[in-house]
């Protein structure tokens, strides 16, 4: 089957977009997102401690439960290191 002109143009555009995206991913790998300030450990702990039971249930339903448990463990370790627990 022969592709028409617009299919070829579309394929080339998608290929270029993919190459640019890959390059930007490599180039900005360890860079903070634009216009975002890093969140302090104290603020992360405050948000973690303020998470309600309903919010935890929602997180378990929308994310991998193993990831949620890993996050909880990381936050508990952070609390211990910072002297909160």
pLDDT tens figures, 15-27 = 999 999 999 888 8
**What is the model's pTM?**
0.57
Contact assessment for residue 41 and residue 82, using Cβ atoms and an 8 Å cutoff: yes
The tally of domains found in the chain comes to 1
**Residue 50 three-state SS:** coil
* Average pLDDT of the chain, as a whole number: 89
Can you give the residue range of the structural domain that contains 40?
5-82
Over range 28-49, report the average pLDDT: 84
Q: How many CB atoms lie within 10 A of CB 51?
A: 13
Q: How confident is the model at residue 72 (pLDDT cuts 50, 70, 90)?
A: very high
What local confidence, expressed as pLDDT, does residue 3 receive? 76
> Using CA atoms, how far apart are residues 29 and 4, in angstroms rounded to an integer?
38
């Amino acid at each position: 089957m022969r592709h028409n002109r617009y299919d070829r143009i579309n394929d080339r555009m998608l290929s270029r977009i993919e190459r640019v995206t890959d390059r930007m991913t490599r180039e900005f790998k360890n860079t903070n997102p634009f216009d975002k300030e890093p969140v302090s450990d104290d603020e992360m702990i405050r948000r973690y401690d303020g998470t309600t039971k309903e919010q935890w249930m929602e997180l378990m339903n929308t994310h991998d439960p193993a990831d949620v448990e890993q996050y909880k463990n990381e936050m508990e370790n952070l609390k211990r290191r910072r002297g909160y627990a």
